[in-house]
């Protein structure tokens, strides 16, 4: 059984699902006010691997991830650029999916948009007001945090110490500085929805409770996101559910941050690393491998160097895939993954999703298979090859065993070089090779002939 760290419990615990063999997970998605960055990339990759591994383990997974398409930052950007907030949201949502698709993250089964759920949010806020845990002041409706049992569970701090640290509120009407906004009354020119408290829009923390509960139901299994969302976002989501008396997430998961040169990478710091640039400038699988080689809760260093290191490792894996391409391990082939290896993999992954340990296994197998193949021990290699393929599937790592599509003129030059080599005219052969290299292609000579690949 898989064990995962639960932020609320502060410990690694077995994943006990609401229904047997089914997992419902809600992952906090982006606010689409700008291009996705590599931190978003890591987050989606972490939960993609979790989802794939659970599916590989036999669970039926219901994966929901929202898109926040109305928010102050979107409004501000729209204002700055003189266009409609919806237009800003549309543009960056498209970019979001481009980045996510490129790194091979499976699309969620549902991708609720905040703007489509405002009616339900108004309803929920109404219920909170009715229960006497929310109150209206001049600029909006707030949740009264002191009325929520166990507030501070995720923050791992008492209400008192949270209150001590909270910034003083400018308005002065809030009953406590930690009370948070459920409904924001609109200022002129902003997008609005009607409500019993006047036109306005929902606060950020409200959308995720309403949409997660709405799509996955009470007591769903996993709620996840970046570690920065732990407090206040997730705390406040939970507070609303608790205040309503509804069971919320059974299990909380948060992934660690990406750091660039030891520093937090974020929009506000300006050392913002764009995911789109990354996937356009390198093999996107490199980034998945980099993510896999560190633990999801640890900080992860992303620089040109670490990306390049991962790309080299991907090359090694691809070479392995090419070398073993002739081994057919499809169902009915008679070649099964070595059960001992699979159970070792499972044991490692079940320990809080230890993907780094899993990659260790994969690379060790790559070596032993190569050793077997070096001495023509095909039978010894086959079950290990099948195991590697199975593991890679669980990790969402696609290995490339296909020769690349090479332009005709490059092929022509390569053939000419072959002729020159056959004629032992190595001067001519080498100058042709230089020309091919100059065009961005690399020749791999081997006993079986020469293959061409992109540099």
Partner RNA sequence: GCGCCGGUGCCCGAGCGGCCCAAGGGAACGGCCUGCAAAGCCGUACAGUCGUCGGUUCAAAUCCGACCCGGCGCUCCA
What sign does the dihedral 9-10-11-14 (CA atoms) show?
A: positive
437 membership: H or E segment, kind and range: helix 426-438
Taking the least distance from each CB to RNA, the nearer of 28 and 209 is 28
Out of 290, 391, 394, 413, point to the residue binding RNA (CB under 7 A).
290
Taking the least distance from each CB to RNA, the nearer of 269 and 333 is 269
Restricted to residues 39-78, the positions that interact with RNA (CB under 7 A) are: 39-40, 42-43, 71-73
Question: Alpha-carbon distance 384 to 158, whole Å?
Answer: 51
Out of 366, 388, 391, 397, point to the residue binding RNA (CB under 7 A).
366
For residue 210, which of 178, 190, 183 has the smallest C-alpha distance? 183
In 333-432, which ranges are E strands?
A: none
Out of 80, 268, 376, 408, point to the residue binding RNA (CB under 7 A).
268
Restricted to residues 9-28, the positions that interact with RNA (CB under 7 A) are: 10, 28
For residues 89 and 32, is the Cβ–Cβ distance under 8 A? yes
79 membership: H or E segment, kind and range: helix 72-81
Minimum CB distance to RNA, residue 137 (Å): 17
Using CB under 7 A as the binding rule, whether residue 371 contacts RNA is answered as yes
Restricted to residues 187-206, the positions that interact with RNA (CB under 7 A) are: 204
Out of 18, 109, 246, 323, point to the residue binding RNA (CB under 7 A).
323
For residues 180 and 139, is the Cβ–Cβ distance under 8 A? no
Out of 310, 385, 386, 414, point to the residue binding RNA (CB under 7 A).
310
Taking the least distance from each CB to RNA, the nearer of 12 and 19 is 12
Out of 120, 157, 176, 400, point to the residue binding RNA (CB under 7 A).
157
Out of 217, 364, 423, 434, point to the residue binding RNA (CB under 7 A).
364
Using CB under 7 A as the binding rule, whether residue 3 contacts RNA is answered as no
143 membership: H or E segment, kind and range: strand 140-143
Out of 146, 281, 298, 431, point to the residue binding RNA (CB under 7 A).
298
For residues 238 and 250, is the Cβ–Cβ distance under 8 A? no
List, in order, residues 6 or more apart from 410 with CB less than 8 Å away: 436, 439, 441, 452
Stretch near RNA under the rule CB under 7 A, chosen from 54-62, 136-144, 193-201, 249-257: 249-257
Out of 271, 306, 393, 400, point to the residue binding RNA (CB under 7 A).
306
Taking the least distance from each CB to RNA, the nearer of 65 and 329 is 65
Taking the least distance from each CB to RNA, the nearer of 225 and 396 is 225
Using CB under 7 A as the binding rule, whether residue 409 contacts RNA is answered as no
Minimum CB distance to RNA, residue 332 (Å): 29
Restricted to residues 88-127, the positions that interact with RNA (CB under 7 A) are: none
Stretch near RNA under the rule CB under 7 A, chosen from 85-93, 136-144, 392-400, 424-432: 424-432
Question: Alpha-carbon distance 404 to 408, whole Å?
Answer: 12
Out of 82, 167, 326, 376, point to the residue binding RNA (CB under 7 A).
167
Taking the least distance from each CB to RNA, the nearer of 60 and 269 is 269
Out of 176, 370, 393, 400, point to the residue binding RNA (CB under 7 A).
370
Using CB under 7 A as the binding rule, whether residue 293 contacts RNA is answered as yes
Distance of CA 140 to the CA centre of its chain: 34
Rg (CA), the chain: 26
Taking the least distance from each CB to RNA, the nearer of 28 and 141 is 28
Question: Alpha-carbon distance 3 to 12, whole Å?
Answer: 6
Total binding residues toward RNA, as defined by CB under 7 A: 92
Cα distances (angstroms) measured from residue 243 to each of 50, 166, 184, 215, 331 = 30, 21, 19, 19, 51
Taking the least distance from each CB to RNA, the nearer of 162 and 209 is 162
Using CB under 7 A as the binding rule, whether residue 360 contacts RNA is answered as yes
Taking the least distance from each CB to RNA, the nearer of 138 and 268 is 268
For residues 145 and 155, is the Cβ–Cβ distance under 8 A? no
For residue 129, which of 195, 178, 192 has the smallest C-alpha distance? 195
In 157-250, which ranges are E strands?
A: 180-185, 200-202, 222-226
Minimum CB distance to RNA, residue 121 (Å): 15
Using CB under 7 A as the binding rule, whether residue 161 contacts RNA is answered as yes
Question: Alpha-carbon distance 201 to 184, whole Å?
Answer: 5
Dig out the tokens for 149 from the structure: 């049992």
Restricted to residues 205-234, the positions that interact with RNA (CB under 7 A) are: 225-233
CB count, 10 Å around CB of 70? Answer: 23
391 membership: H or E segment, kind and range: helix 378-395
Cα distances (angstroms) measured from residue 203 to each of 143, 314, 327, 335 = 11, 43, 55, 55
Out of 17, 24, 206, 294, point to the residue binding RNA (CB under 7 A).
294
Minimum CB distance to RNA, residue 448 (Å): 10
**Residue matched to tokens 């409609």:** 84
Taking the least distance from each CB to RNA, the nearer of 18 and 435 is 435
């Amino acid at each position: 059984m898989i064990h995962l760290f639960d932020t609320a419990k502060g410990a690694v615990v077995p994943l006990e699902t609401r229904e047997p063999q089914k997992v419902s997970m809600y992952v906090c998605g982006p606010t689409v006010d700008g291009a996705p960055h590599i931190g978003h990339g890591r987050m989606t990759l972490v939960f993609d691997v979790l989802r794939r591994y659970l599916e590989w383990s036999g669970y039926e997974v219901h994966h929901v991830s929202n898109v926040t398409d109305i928010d102050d930052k979107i409004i501000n950007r729209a204002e700055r650029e003189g266009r409609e907030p919806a237009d800003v949201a549309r543009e960056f949502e498209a970019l979001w999916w481009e980045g996510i698709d490129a790194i091979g993250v499976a699309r969620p089964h549902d991708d609720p948009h905040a703007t489509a759920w405002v009616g339900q949010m108004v309803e929920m806020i109404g219920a909170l007001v009715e229960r006497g845990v929310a109150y209206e002041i001049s600029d909006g409706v707030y949740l009264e945090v002191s009325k929520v049992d166990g507030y501070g569970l995720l923050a791992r701090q008492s209400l008192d110490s949270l209150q001590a640290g909270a910034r003083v509120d400018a308005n002065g009407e809030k009953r406590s500085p930690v009370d948070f906004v459920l409904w924001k009354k609109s200022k002129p020119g902003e997008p609005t929805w009607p409500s019993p408290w006047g036109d306005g829009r929902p606060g950020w923390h409200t959308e995720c409770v309403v949409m997660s509960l709405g799509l996955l139901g009470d007591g769903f299994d996993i709620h996840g996101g970046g570690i920065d969302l732990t407090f206040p976002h997730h705390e406040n989501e939970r507070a609303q559910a608790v205040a309503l008396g509804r069971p919320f997430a059974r299990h909380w998961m948060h992934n660690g941050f990406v750091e660039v040169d030891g520093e937090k990478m974020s929009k506000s710091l300006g050392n913002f690393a764009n995911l789109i640039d990354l996937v356009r400038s390198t093999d996107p699988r490199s980034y998945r491998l980099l993510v896999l080689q560190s633990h999801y809760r640890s900080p992860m260093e992303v620089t040109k160097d670490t990306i390049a290191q991962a790309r080299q490792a991907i090359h090694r894996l691809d070479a392995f895939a090419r070398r073993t391409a002739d081994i057919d391990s499809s169902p009915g082939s008679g070649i099964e993954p070595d059960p001992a290896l699979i159970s070792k993999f499972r044991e490692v992954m079940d320990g809080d999703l230890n993907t780094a340990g899993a990659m260790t296994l994969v690379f060790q197998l790559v070596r032993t298979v190569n050793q077997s193949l070096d001495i023509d021990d095909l039978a010894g290699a086959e079950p290990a090859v099948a195991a590697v393929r199975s593991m890679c599937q669980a990790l969402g790592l696609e290995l490339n065993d296909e020769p690349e599509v090479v332009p005709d003129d490059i092929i022509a030059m390569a053939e000419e070089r072959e002729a020159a080599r056959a004629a032992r005219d190595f001067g001519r052969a080498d100058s042709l090779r230089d020309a091919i290299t100059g065009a961005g292609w690399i020749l791999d000579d081997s006993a079986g002939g020469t293959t061409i690949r992109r540099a």
